[in-house]
Amino acid sequence: MSSFAPSSPPPAVSVLNRLPATPSNPTRVMPSNVTNTPSTPAQASQAGTSSATPAAAATPGRERQGSFGGSSRVKHLKPFNTANIKILLLENVNQTAVNALKEQGYQVETHAKALSEEVLVEKIKDVHCIGIRSKTKITKKVLDAAEKLGVIGCFCIGTNQVDLEHASSKGVAVFNSPFSNSRSVAELVIAEIVLLSRQLGDRNNEMHQGNWQKVSSNCYEIRGKTLGIVGYGHIGSQLSVMAEAMGMRVYFHDVAPLMPLGTAKQVSTLDELLSVSDFVTLHVPETEETKNMIGEHELNLMKQGSFLINASRGTVVQIPALAKALRSGHLGGAAVDVFPKEPAANGKFFESELVGCPNTLLTPHIGGSTEEAQSMIGVEVSTALIKFINNGTSVGAVNFPEVDLRAIRDEENSIRLCYTHMNVPGVLGRITNILADHNVDKQFSDSKGKIAYLMADISDVTPEQIQDLYQRISETPTNIVTRILY
């Protein structure tokens, strides 16, 4: 048990819920590598703004600084002395994230590589928050070894590497960054439209083999050509604007009726889009409906000599059918960035029926792989982690009910309850009873699968009452994690 946890928390309670030192809980001990003297400007600023007692922390009128809330009238909630929060960042998580987390005064440990399950099981024991990319596996065993873990940041798009269900059953929220690389993908697709239209892949290969082939037949400008976008979300809509700026006509198909950007037009069926487009580009998610979405029938509907681009998910296109359409000359070319089976590591592991097809650009799932996207991912995920740790906000979590409340004002002597609990009947009634003598200013609750999350701001609470509320709520039989922020 943490030395600065409440005197006897129930075993299921995360250490993120620890209380500040109060008369009834006076023995907070700092970890050996943390002193009471702030060592960085950020810690110094926090030491000046957060106090050992909730009453002092809520002193009205004090100027507060911090990344969230903006104005000094917004109360910066502190569940703990942030210098005690341990963050473990693996796999060279971007420096933007390291800086943002350090600025909060957290202890941040970084590693360039992923850690094996065996090492991680030891390492994660006293960690409150772990940041990973795609190689680290957060398995059930790792989660069970994590005594204090409250939140996981996946500094990437996917979250398959985390046992999401087990994480949520333990009240551990998982955040990722699904849209930080939209621009990078859209730019790659614009490049591919030009490259395909000029057969640049083939010319480049020939030149590298010393073969000079000056060709103009079947090479085109893209100006005035029709781009058909399948899936008009973050990437599709960004692409729409860029393609129009290049002089293209844009049509799109999406299951949702969407406001077209610029002069783009939505068409009602995929078949219609395929039959009018010179270039078809896919930007749909991987779902049951999009699996094998483009096969022989759809390719046959595409214009003779037209081009297909897939930078969405490998399962969306049937590769044998595409290879056939390319080799027969029905399609003028294709650019493929994603494949049904992708090698797990870099090396000479790639095999596909598309290898050697004419005017076919093959790239190793690099659509979103740019320095800018990595930097944006660092900012987005670290922001979500800080908001969850400091404010309880779970908006954007992939495995957790998404809940947020507007800020508490600094002059309010309020506390915030963050209660992750089992999603079963009667819970809210029980909590309402516990809070019956208090003024609940605002509350919001939502559920996802087997768990639910309640955030409630409660005014005029004394330090002794905080301890009492914490004790009673964390001891409810449906408790997964109780945190009180003040």
Positions that interact with ligand NAD (CB under 6 A): 157, 179, 181-182, 185, 230-236, 253-256, 283-287, 289-290, 311-313, 337-338, 365, 367-368
**Burial classification of residue 50, based on how many CB atoms lie within 10 Å of its CB (0-12 exposed, 13-18 middle, 19 or more buried):** buried
User: Annotated active-site positions, please?
Assistant: 313, 342, 365
φ/ψ (deg, to 5) at 95: -60, -30
Residue with smaller CB distance to ligand NAD, 236 or 392:
236
Q: What are the residues facing 481 on neighbouring strands?
A: 420
Question: Which pair of tokens denotes residue 374?
Answer: 């990595």
Q: 451 to each of 11, 401, 454, how far by Cα in Å?
A: 18, 8, 10
Smallest CA-to-CA distance from 21 within 59, 52, 45 is with 52
- Cα–Cα distance, 239 to 223 (Å, whole number): 15
Closer residue to ligand NAD in complex, CB, 50/159 = 159
Give bridge partners of residue 409 from the DSSP assignment.
74
| DSSP conformational letter for 213 | -
Q: How far is the CB of 426 from ligand NAD (least distance, A)?
A: 37
Q: From its phi and psi, is residue 70 left (phi > 0), alpha (psi between -120 and 50) or beta?
A: left
Structure-token match 């990319």, residue found: 133
Q: How far apart are CA 53 and CA 282, in angstroms?
A: 55
Count Cβ atoms below 10 Å from residue 340 Cβ, excluding itself.
14
Cβ proximity of 416 and 456 under 8 Å: yes
Please spell the DSSP secondary structure of 81-131, one letter per residue.
-GGG-EEEE-TT--HHHHHHHHHTT-EEEE-SS---HHHHHHHTTT-SEEE
Of 103 and 254, the one with the shorter C-beta distance to ligand NAD is: 254
